[in-house]
């Protein structure tokens, strides 16, 4: 008998206008919440993409507000918050974690083309700045599914107390741990200081693999330039550098700077090319 009365009472409650109105309000609120969450994700993706672009290209964080403003003017929904350039710094750690995860996954996964993990050449550079020695480490590998087959990764710039061969080797091993195994290791490409400290040999011992180590091309080119400018037959290189420096010192600021552009416009040295566009690149 009690159960029958309960059913009748429940039926009356469910069919009353107040209950139906509340259910309608709940459905509307639920749809609004779903719509808001969807918009938040969409806006977050836009602002995150702008931040990642600045970080990847090494652009100033102050460009963030300008780019967000341009997107807004173009009709893109950029939301109502996180429009300060400080958002880029807040976004960076999250982006770094995602990138590190993807890099780690790539190097631990066998390539479809070979059935083996990607081969790796370790890049190393010993750098001392303000009496502190750091080990700049990276690597170069192949990525068959990208337009550029050889890809370079910068991994870390860790403090290297003492700057000895053992310390540099330990730094590199710590960075490569979990990324590179013996089957992937193809040697090291480094500056002279790193090679003279026998880091290549020590890494070979760590990976238990003897491979070819080579001199980093950019460092080699730097040495060639140092010797080249001392040779009389390449004196023109010094002359060009000195002339550009003289122009820079004369016209980089003040009234002479403004007068330089006035004369350039009078002489019509630019036709179709905006002189001001080139100004920041040279001056």
pLDDT for 232 equals: 84
pLDDT for 141 equals: 94
Q: In the block, which residue shows the tokens 């303000």?
A: 130
Cβ count within 10 A of residue 264: 12
Higher pLDDT, 117 or 275: 117
| 83 CB-contact burial (10 Å; exposed 0-12 / middle 13-18 / buried 19+) | middle
pLDDT for 5 equals: 62
- Over residues 49-71, the mean pLDDT reads 92
User: Which pLDDT band holds residue 119 (cuts at 50, 70, 90)?
Assistant: very high
pLDDT at residue 70 tops 90:
yes
- Over residues 128-133, the mean pLDDT reads 80
pLDDT at residue 92 tops 90:
yes
CB 180 within 8 A of CB 110: no
Report the interhelical angle of 63-73 vs 17-57 (nearest 10°). Answer: 130
pLDDT at residue 244 tops 80:
yes
Q: Shortest CA distance to 150 belongs to which of 172, 194, 118?
A: 118
| 139 CB-contact burial (10 Å; exposed 0-12 / middle 13-18 / buried 19+) | buried
Phi, psi torsion values for 141, nearest 5 degrees: -150, 180
pLDDT for 281 equals: 40
- Over residues 214-234, the mean pLDDT reads 83
Least confident of 2-11, 70-79, 242-251, 253-262: 2-11
Quick one: tokens of 107?
Answer: 């190097």
Average pLDDT, the chain: 82
Listed as own residue / partner, the contacts of 270-275 with beta carbons closer than 8 Å and 24 or more positions apart are none
């Amino acid at each position: 008998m009690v159960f029958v009365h309960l059913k009748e009472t429940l039926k009356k409650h469910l069919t009353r206008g107040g209950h139906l109105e509340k259910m309608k309000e709940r459905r509307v609120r639920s749809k609004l919440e779903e719509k808001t969450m969807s918009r938040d994700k969409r806006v977050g993706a836009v602002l995150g993409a702008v931040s990642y672009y600045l970080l990847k290209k090494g652009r100033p964080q102050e460009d963030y507000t300008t780019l967000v403003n341009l997107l807004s003017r173009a009709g893109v929904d950029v939301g109502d918050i996180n429009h300060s350039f400080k958002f880029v710094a807040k976004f960076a750690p999250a982006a770094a974690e995602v990138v590190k995860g993807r890099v780690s996954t790539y190097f631990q996964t066998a390539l479809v083309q070979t059935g083996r993990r990607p081969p790796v050449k370790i890049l190393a550079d010993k750098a001392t700045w303000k009496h502190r020695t750091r080990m700049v480490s990276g690597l170069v590998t192949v990525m068959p599914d990208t337009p550029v087959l050889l890809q370079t990764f910068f991994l870390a710039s860790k403090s290297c107390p003492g700057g000895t061969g053992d310390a540099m080797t330990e730094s590199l091993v710590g960075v490569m741990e979990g990324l590179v195994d013996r089957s992937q290791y193809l040697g090291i490409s480094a500056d002279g200081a790193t090679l003279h400290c026998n880091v290549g040999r020590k890494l070979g011992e760590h990976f238990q693999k003897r491979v070819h180590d080579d001199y980093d091309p950019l460092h080699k080119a730097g040495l060639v330039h140092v010797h080249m400018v001392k040779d009389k037959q390449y004196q023109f290189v010094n002359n060009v550098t000195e002339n550009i420096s003289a122009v820079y010192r004369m016209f980089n600021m003040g009234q002479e700077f403004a007068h330089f552009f006035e004369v350039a416009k009078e002489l019509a040295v630019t036709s179709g090319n905006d002189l001001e566009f080139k100004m920041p690149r040279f001056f």
